[in-house]
Structure 1
Amino acid sequence: MVNMVELTALQNEEENQNVVAPGCLAQSNDTAAKALWEALLNTKHKEAVMEVRRHLVEAASRENLPIKMSMGRVTPGQLMSYIHLFKNNLKALMNHCGLLQLGLATVQTLKHPQTAKWDNFLAFERLLLQSIGESTMSVVLNQLLPIIKPLNQRTNDDYSPEELLILLIYIYSVTGEFTEDKDLAEAEEKVKKALAKVFCEESELSPLLQKVTGCDSSINLTFHKSKIAVDELFTSLRDIAGARNLMKQFKSVYVPGNHTHQASYKPLLKQVVEEIFNPERPDPVDIEHMSSGLTDLLKTGFSMFMKVSRPHPSDHPLLILFVVGGVTVSEAKMIKDLVLSLKPGTQVIVLSTRLLKPLNIPELLFATDRLHPDLGF
C-alpha cells in the first residue's frame, strides 16, 4: 500500500507515526498514471525511475509550479522534492493525484531498507559469478564463509540463513558439474559447520528452517540435528549442480568472461527461447518433438529410412511454455522481451505451477515432500 501522508496536512509528530493515508497503484481513470504504471512494469529499474521523474517534471511544469531541474542519477530525495511541490496546491493535487501516488510508491520503495540490502545481495552474486570462472569451487565457497554469521554477530545488512541458502543454490546451479578434490571437501565441511551453527543459534526458527531441520523450536535444535539437516542440504545442492548433466546444448548457464566482457549468467529459459526463435532454425538438440497421432507416427517411421523434417517449435504462431516448479516475474518479462526482439508478432503464453518469490526456491528444494509436491493449485 502507498502511504500518502506526505501530501496531507498531518505533521510528522510522534502521535501521527502510525497514521497511514492509503494510496493505490492501480489508476484506471488516469491516462498519465496508467502509462507510468506500464513503464514501471515493463522497463528496467534505472529507466523506470527516470520515467517517474520525467512524468513529475512534466506535471509540475503544466501546473506552473516552481520546479528546479536536475539531471543525473534519480534519488528518492529528488523525487520527493518534486512531489512536495503539489502539496499546497489543491487543484494540481487533484489533477495529478494518480501520478503522485505512483511517485510516492517509487520513493517509498527506493527508501525501503530491503532495497539496499538486495542491491548488495546482487552485487555479491556478481562477485561470485566472476570467481566461478577464475577459481575452483573450493575458493568460491571460502569466499562465502565470512558472511555466514550467527544471530549475535549479524547486523541488518548481513544475510539471514534463508538468504545464505539462496546464495548456495545460485553457486551450485551456475557452477554445474565440478571436479571433486580434497580442497572442495574441506571447504564444504567448513561451510556446513558454519551453517549448522547459524541454525542452532537462531532465537526463533523461521517456517523454512523448521521444515529443513524438523524442529519447531530453536530450543529443541541441537548442533547434531542441525548438522544432519545441513548435510542433507548439501546432498540436494550436489544434485542441483548435476541437474543439467544429461543435456548437450543447454548444459551450462555460465558464460565465461574475456578481456572485454565480464562473466555472465545465461538462464536456461533464455537459452530455450533463443533456440526456439533462432532465425537459422537449427535442429534443436535438447528440445524433443513428441510424436502423436497416426500422421506423426508415420513420419517417425519413415524418418528411419529417409530424411523427414521434424516440426520446429517456432512453426506455429502460438507458443505455449509450461515451466514446471515455478516461474519468476523477471523470467516472464525476459521471455516477453526476447520474443519481441527475436520474432515479433508471435504469441507466447507462459504457464507454470506457481509464481515464484526468492524464498520459495529453497523451500521447494529443501523442504518439500517430493513424493507429494505442493504444485500451488
Structure 2
Amino acid sequence: MVNMVELTALQTTDETCGIIAPGCLAQPNEPAAKALWESFMNLKQKEAVMEARRHLVEAASRENLPIKMSMGRVTPEQLSSYIQLFRNNLKALENHCGLLQLVLATVQTLKHPQTSKWDNFLAFERLLLQTIGESEMPSVLNQLLPMIKSYNERTKDDYACEDFLVLLVYIYSVVGEIKCGKELDTAEEEVKRALVKAICDEPELSPLLQNITGCDSSLNLTSQKAMDAVDGIFRSLRDIARVRMHMKQFHSIHNPGSNTHQASYKPLLKQVVEEVCNPDRPDPVDIEHISSGLTDLLKTGFSMFMKVNRPHPGDHPLLIIFMVGGVSISEVKMVKDLVATRKPGTQVIVLSSVLLTPHSTVELLFASDRLQPDARI
C-alpha cells in the first residue's frame, strides 16, 4: 500500500497509520499515471525513476508550481521535495493525484530498508556467478558457509535462512551437472549443519520455514526435524542440478566467460525464445513438434521416406508460451523485449500457473505437495 501521509499536514512517523486512506498503483483514469506505470513495467530501474521525475516536473510546470529542475541522479529526497509542492495546492493535488501516488510509491520503495539489502544480494549473486565458472562446487559452497548466521549473530544487512535457500536454488540451477564426490559431500554437510543451527535458533519460524519443516512453532521444532527438512532440500537441489541433463541444445545456462568477458548466465526461457525467433529457422533440437490432425500425421508418415520440413514455432504471428510451475516478472519482460528486438510484429502471450517471487519459488520446490503444488501460493 502507498502511504499518503506525505501529501497531508498530518505529522506522524507511524508507517501503519490508518487515519489516511492508502494510495493505489492502479490509475486507469489518468494518462500520465498510466504512462508512468508502463515505464515502471518496461524500463530498467534507473530509467523508470528518471521517468517519474520527468512526469512530476511536467505536472508541476503545468500547475505553475515553483519547481527547480535538477539534472543528474534521481534521489528519493529529490522526488519527495517535488511532491511537497503539490501538498498545499488542492487543485493541483486533485489534477495529478494518480501520478503523485505512483511517485510516492517509488519514493517509499527506494527508501525501504530492504532495498539496499536486495541490491547487495544481487551483487553477491553476480559474484557467485564468477566463482561458479572458476571453481568447483565445493569451493562455491565453502564461500557461502561463513555467511550463514544464527538469529543472534545476524545484523539487519545479513541474510536470513530464507535468503540462503534462494541463493542455493540459484547456485544449483546455474551450475548444472555436478561432479559428485567426497569433497562435495563434505561441503554440503557443512552447509547443512550451519542451516540446521540457523533454523533451530530462529525465535519465531516464518511461514516459509513452517511449511518446509512442518512445524507451526519454533517450540515444536527439533534438531532432527530440521535436519530431515534440510536433507530433503539438498536432495531437491541435486535434482535441480540434473534437470537439464536430457537436453542437447539447452543443457547449459551458464557461460563461464573468458579473459575478456565476465561469466554470465542465459536463462532457459531466453534460449528457447531466441531459438523460436531465429531468422535462420534452424531445426530446433529440444523443441518438439506434436503432430495433430490427418494432414500432420500423413506428413509424419511420409517423412520416413522423404525429407519433410517440420513446422517451425516461429512460423506463426502468434506465439503462446505456457510456463508450467510459474513465471517471474523479469522473465515476462525478457520475453517481451526479446520478441520486440528479434521478431517485431509477433504477438506473444505468456501464461503460467503462478507468478513467482524468490521466496514462492523456494516454497514450491521445498514445501509443496507435488500433486497440488500451487495450493498455498
The residue that corresponds to 1:325 in the other structure is 325
Match of 1:189 in 2: 189
Distance 1:128 1:14 in 2: 38
TM-score, normalization: structure 1?
Answer: 0.95
Q: Contact between 2:322 and 2:350, CA under 8 Å: does it hold in 1?
A: yes
* 2:299 paired residue number: 299
2:5 is aligned with 1:11: no
Match of 2:24? 24
1:98-150 Cα deviation digits (max 9, x unpaired): 22121111101111112222111111111111111111111111111111111
Q: Given that residues 33 and 98 in structure 1 are in contact (C-alpha distance below 8 angstroms), is that contact kept between their aligned partners in structure 2?
A: yes
Does the C-alpha gap of structure 1 residues 12 and 256 become closer, same or farther in structure 2, counting only changes over 3 Å? same
Matched with 1:96 is: 96
Structure 1 residue aligned with 2:253: 253
Kindly indicate whether residue 125 of structure 2 is the aligned counterpart of residue 131 of structure 1: no
Between the aligned partners of 2:289 and 2:14, the Cα distance in structure 1 is 66
Q: Which residue of 1 aligns with 2:228?
A: 228
Counterpart of 1:366 in structure 2 is: 366
SS in structure 2 of the partner of residue 350 of structure 1: strand
Amino acid at match of 1:196: V
The answer to whether the 8 A contact 2:327-2:352 is kept is yes
- In structure 2, how many angstroms separate the alpha carbons of the residues matched to 1:68 and 1:185? 61
Distance in 1, Cα, partners of 2:372 & 2:280: 42
- Give, in angstroms, the shift of residue 165 of structure 1: 0.6
Q: Does 1:140 align with 2:144?
A: no
Q: CA deviation at 1:196?
A: 0.8
| Range with greater deviation from structure 2 (332-341 or 6-15) | 6-15
What amino acid is the match of 2:88? N
Q: Is 1:174 aligned with 2:192?
A: no
Q: What is the rounded CA distance, in whole Å, between the counterparts of 1:301 and 1:375 in structure 2?
A: 43
Partners in 2 of 1:8 and 1:294 — Cα distance?
Answer: 69
Residues 10 and 16 in structure 1, CA contact (< 8 A), matched pair in contact too: no
Q: Which residue of 2 aligns with 1:340?
A: 340
Q: Say if 1:10 and 1:147 are closer, same or farther in 2 by CA, change over 3 A.
A: same
TM-score normalised by the chain length of structure 2: 0.95
Partner residue of 2:270? 270
**Identity across matched positions, percent:** 73
8 A contact 1:87–1:93 mirrored in 2: yes
Question: Are the equivalent residues in 2 in contact too, given 1:354–1:376 (CA < 8 A)?
Answer: no
Contact 1:325/1:375 (<8 A) preserved: no
Structure 2 counterpart of 1:3, one-letter code? N
Give the C-alpha shift of residue 28 in structure 1.
Answer: 2.3
Residues 11, 214 of structure 1: alpha-carbon distance in 2 compared, 3 angstrom cutoff: closer
Aligned-pair distance for 1:262? 1.8
User: Contact between 2:196 and 2:223, CA under 8 Å: does it hold in 1?
Assistant: yes
C-alpha RMSD of the superposition: 2.0
Q: In structure 1, how many angstroms separate the alpha carbons of the residues matched to 2:351 and 2:23?
A: 31
After superposition, what is the alpha-carbon deviation per residue over 1:212-253, rounded to whole angstroms, capped at 9, x for unaligned? 223232223222222222112111100000000000110111
Query: Following the alignment from structure 1 to structure 2, what is the Cα–Cα distance between the partners of residues 201 and 140?
Result: 25
Residue type matched to 2:365 in 1? L
Match of 1:206? 206
CA distance in 1, matches of 2:95, 2:301: 69
In the superposition, relative to structure 1, how do residues 221 and 341 fare at CA in structure 2: closer, same or farther (>3 Å)?
same
**Aligned-partner residue type, residue 27 of structure 2:** Q
d(CA) in 2 for partners of 1:205, 1:313 = 46
Gap runs ≥5 in structure 2: none
Q: Are the counterparts in 1 of residues 80 and 107 from structure 2 also a CA contact under 8 Å?
A: yes
Structure 1 residue ranges, 4+ long, deviating more than 6 angstroms after superposition? 13-16
**Aligned with 1:321: secondary structure?**
strand
What are the Cα deviations for residues 242-292 of structure 1, in whole angstroms up to 9, with x where unaligned?
000000110111122233332112111111011011011000000011112
SS in 2 for 1:23: coil
**Residue 189 of structure 1: SS of its match in structure 2?**
helix
Check the 8 A contact 1:2/1:105 in 2, yes or no.
yes
Query: 1:320 is paired with a residue of what secondary structure?
Result: strand
The SS at the match of 2:107 is helix
Greater displacement, 271-280 / 198-207: 198-207
1:49-64 matches, within 5 Å, as 49-64=49-64
Counterpart in the other structure of 1:155: 155
| CA contact 2:3–2:15 (8 Å) conserved in 1 | no
Amino acid at match of 2:249: Q
Deviation of 1:375 after TM superposition, in Å, equals 6.3
1:353–1:375 CA contact under 8 A, matched in 2: no
> What amino acid is the match of 2:307?
K
Question: 1:322: Cα distance to partner?
Answer: 1.0
Does the C-alpha gap of structure 1 residues 313 and 127 become closer, same or farther in structure 2, counting only changes over 3 Å? Answer: same
